[in-house]
Amino acid sequence: MKQKTPFLTGFSTHLFGSAKRETQDIVARKRRSLIEGTLDLQQQFIDEIDPGLLQRHSSTQRNRHYPDHLTFWAFFSQVASDDASCAGAVARVQAWAEQRGLPVAGQSTSSYCEARASLPVEMLRAVNDSLYEQLDAHLPSKGHWRGLRPRAEDGTTAQMPDTEANGQEYPYWHGQQEGCAFPMVRLGGLIDLSHGGLCEFATSGMDTSELRNHRQLEDKLQAGDVFIADRLYSGYELIERLASKGVHYIGRTHKSRKIDFRKGRKIGPNERLVTWTKPYQLPKASILTKAQWQEVPNELPVRLIRCKGPDREGKQKTRYIVTTLLDPKVYPAEEVAALYLHRWEIEVRFRDIKTTLGMELLRTKSPAMIEKELLMYQIVYNLMRLVMLKAATAHGVNHRRLSFRGVQQVIQAFVENFRDLACHPLLRLRQRAKMWARIAERIVTERPGRNEPRRVKRRPKCTRWLQKLRHQYFEHFRCENPPMNILDNPA
């Protein structure tokens, strides 16, 4: 029987020595040191995502299987890898804990999903803002166009699981039956064309216009930016509001605006300085009141540029570009027209996020988790763009010509190389240099003027569409006397 009474009464307890540590305390201390310093992904991107930033925004009060920093990197690996399932993320955490002698979490995904749901949104926003600031800091000064920062905006969509919570926040598109479709979210993205970083995603329902998302993103524009967008954004109110903030505009004229190239002051064979007048009535889609509309200036000087280019059928078509860059000597018409053609790069960036990373179909089942999942996709994308920029600058190649998919493959292949390098900074730097060298090799050959039709060669399987609730189909009956599975019960 264990005797707890001191054998020398009357003496100070300091003379008895230190008590034996409990096993749980030792495991907790070991878990804390491992989580804070030796995660493979964390060591791979420790210069881009500061562990202290995660610690400052962490809300974990006790040690458990899924603290906030471990949940963040598990969520990161889930989005960055081709296997985006929760079971795959749990399996990676189990293998990590098993290798380091920590208690292994169960195979159930419920604990991980609960920890992911409690992940602070402020942490994700802080990490994304930090990555975007690093992109701006590492971009060379010559990366901008004539001292201006080109930024493009466009809209896209994403689907999500058909749950009751998602359906209430993001209703079905018109004409879709309940239970036979997926809720969709309309996204507005603002991308810097210089380094390709995504500033932010603005979300809204499908029953709204893309201009509603622009109102959320307009605060991100600063003086010295040049805003490039399609003809939907070329309204009087929007262009004048940007000009009052010192933001320049480049875009095609709206299809409802009639262009008479004989009017205005001629400054070149294909250039005119014209003055637009404010519409008499307040536009229906305007966010201004009648009193605020009266304060808008009645005239807006703009510059019209006429250019030609091939359409989707390869035929030459005349286009009219409107811009608030009025000086033709400082901003030549040919460069302004060419800069507008770079607007198409935002479609390529959306393809990187939606197709390459797999954001076309989101996986979380509540609007709160949809917001976190979108933020995590932004973090993964901006981190990869930052690594591409650093690797290209170190090896003297153009970061705009690097393959996004190739960089993703290199990053996934080098995860194992950063294992157990927390206490070996020189070895980590060597592995980092090797990874950058492999990334700099993934150059996409430039093919100017390439235009291919949007056609798919592979035929889809002849599967019927779901046009009513699944349980209403006769094919999905339940057999009362199922056949015996003799292989499952061998004799």
pLDDT at 169 over 80: yes
What is the chain's length?
A: 491
CB 105 within 8 A of CB 97: yes
What is 139-356's CATH topology? Transposase Inhibitor Protein From Tn5; Chain A, domain 1 (3.90.350)
pLDDT at 491 over 90: no
Phi and psi at residue 309, to the nearest 5°: -165, 160
Handedness of CA 299, 300, 304, 309 (dihedral sign): negative
Highest average pLDDT, of 80-84, 113-117, 387-391, comes from 387-391
Q: Beta partners for 376?
A: none
Average pLDDT over residues 352-363: 93
CB 320 within 8 A of CB 253: yes
Portion of the chain with pLDDT greater than 90, in percent = 49
At residue 30, the pLDDT reads 54
pLDDT at 449 over 80: no
Q: Would you place residue 173 in the very low, low, confident or very high pLDDT band (cuts 50, 70, 90)?
A: confident
pLDDT at 422 over 60: yes
At residue 17, the pLDDT reads 53
At residue 37, the pLDDT reads 42
Q: Tens of pLDDT along 203-224? A: 998 888 888 889 889 999 999 9
Q: Would you place residue 442 in the very low, low, confident or very high pLDDT band (cuts 50, 70, 90)?
A: very high
**Is residue 179 helix, strand or coil?**
coil
**Delimiting residues of CATH 3.90.350.10 domain(s) in the chain:** 139-356
pLDDT at 68 over 60: yes
- Does residue 268 or residue 35 have the better pLDDT? 268
Can you give the pTM of this predicted structure? 0.88
Average pLDDT over residues 366-384: 96
At residue 386, the pLDDT reads 96
Handedness of CA 385, 391, 396, 401 (dihedral sign): negative
pLDDT at 33 over 70: no
d(CA 243, CA 264): 20
Q: Would you place residue 36 in the very low, low, confident or very high pLDDT band (cuts 50, 70, 90)?
A: very low
At residue 475, the pLDDT reads 60
d(CA 305, CA 328): 10
Phi and psi at residue 306, to the nearest 5°: -100, 130
Comparing CA positions, the residue from 397, 361, 400, 448 lying closest to residue 191 is: 400
121-130 burial by CB neighbour count: b if 16+ within 10 A, else e? eebbbbbbeb
At residue 474, the pLDDT reads 64
- Does residue 292 or residue 386 have the better pLDDT? 386
Which segment of 17-26, 45-54, 163-172, 359-368 scores lowest on mean pLDDT? Answer: 17-26
CB 245 within 8 A of CB 262: no
At residue 38, the pLDDT reads 43
- The structure tokens listed for 2 are 């264990």
pLDDT at 121 over 80: yes
Q: Residue 307: is it exposed, middle or buried by C-beta count within 10 angstroms (0-12/13-18/19+)?
A: middle
At residue 14, the pLDDT reads 54
pLDDT averaged over the chain? 86
pLDDT at 26 over 70: no
CB 325 within 8 A of CB 264: no
- The structure tokens listed for 87 are 């079971």
Average pLDDT over residues 276-301: 86
Q: Tens of pLDDT along 261-270? A: 888 899 988 9
- The structure tokens listed for 221 are 């524009």
d(CA 102, CA 421): 18
Q: Would you place residue 27 in the very low, low, confident or very high pLDDT band (cuts 50, 70, 90)?
A: low
d(CA 443, CA 402): 4
Comparing CA positions, the residue from 200, 70, 43, 191 lying closest to residue 125 is: 200
Count other Cβ atoms within 10 Å, centred on residue 301: 13
Count other Cβ atoms within 10 Å, centred on residue 141: 6
Q: Would you place residue 63 in the very low, low, confident or very high pLDDT band (cuts 50, 70, 90)?
A: low
pLDDT at 488 over 60: yes
Q: Would you place residue 180 in the very low, low, confident or very high pLDDT band (cuts 50, 70, 90)?
A: confident
At residue 9, the pLDDT reads 53
Q: Would you place residue 250 in the very low, low, confident or very high pLDDT band (cuts 50, 70, 90)?
A: very high
C-alpha dihedral, 134 to 436 to 145 to 347, nearest 10°: -90
d(CA 367, CA 56): 25
d(CA 174, CA 169): 15
Portion of the chain with pLDDT greater than 70, in percent = 89
At residue 62, the pLDDT reads 57
pLDDT at 281 over 80: yes
Comparing CA positions, the residue from 113, 61, 106, 66 lying closest to residue 85 is: 113
Count other Cβ atoms within 10 Å, centred on residue 348: 11
CB 263 within 8 A of CB 240: no
CA distances from residue 147 to 151, 312, 323, 385 in whole angstroms, order as listed = 13, 32, 16, 22
- The structure tokens listed for 315 are 């035929």
CB 153 within 8 A of CB 188: yes
H or E element at residue 133: helix 121-138
Tell me the DSSP string of 308-351.
Answer: EEE-TTS-EEEEEEEES---TTTS-HHHHHHHHHGGGHHHHHHH
Handedness of CA 229, 234, 238, 243 (dihedral sign): positive
CB 206 within 8 A of CB 176: no
At residue 397, the pLDDT reads 94
- Does residue 293 or residue 383 have the better pLDDT? 383
Q: Tens of pLDDT along 130-150? A: 999 999 999 987 888 999 999
At residue 6, the pLDDT reads 52
